[in-house]
Amino acid sequence: MTSPNPWLLLLLAISAEVIGTSCLKLSQGFSRPLPTLVVLSAYAISMTLMSRVVQVLPMGLTYALWSGIGIVAIVLIGLLVYRQVPTQGQLIGMALITAGVVTVNLQGHPG
């Protein structure tokens, strides 16, 4: 049996983290049971998957992708679901983060 593709696991870890973070507002400070369960479960899944990914991919690359993609996804969800419109400065910051993630990926990893 082959090991799962670490890139797929990373994408799933990012997705789980985004789901958990997106539900934080709905949990109302962990006072609503169902959204709280979603948050905690999603974070547990994300961390479990990340622990597997860093066994194969470089930790710095993994974290750069996880955080960069997660930031952009959360801002998009904030915009679409919660109607939280980012400022021009925030958009510039996210563009810089995205450029950094792309640069990290284009450079490959030593090995």
What are the angstrom distances between the C-alpha of 22 and each of 14, 17, 44, 94? 12, 8, 15, 18
- pLDDT < 50 positions in the chain: none
Retrieve residue 86's tokens.
């980012």
pTM: 0.85
What's the length of the chain? 111
- List the end-to-end C-alpha distance of the chain, in Å, as a whole number: 25
pLDDT at 27: 97
pLDDT at 86: 92
Give the pLDDT confidence of 49-62 residue by residue, as tens digits: 999 999 999 888 89
Give the pLDDT confidence of 69-79 residue by residue, as tens digits: 898 899 999 99
Instruction: Domain ranges for the chain, please list them.
Output: 6-106
For 13-93, where are the E strands, in sequence order? none
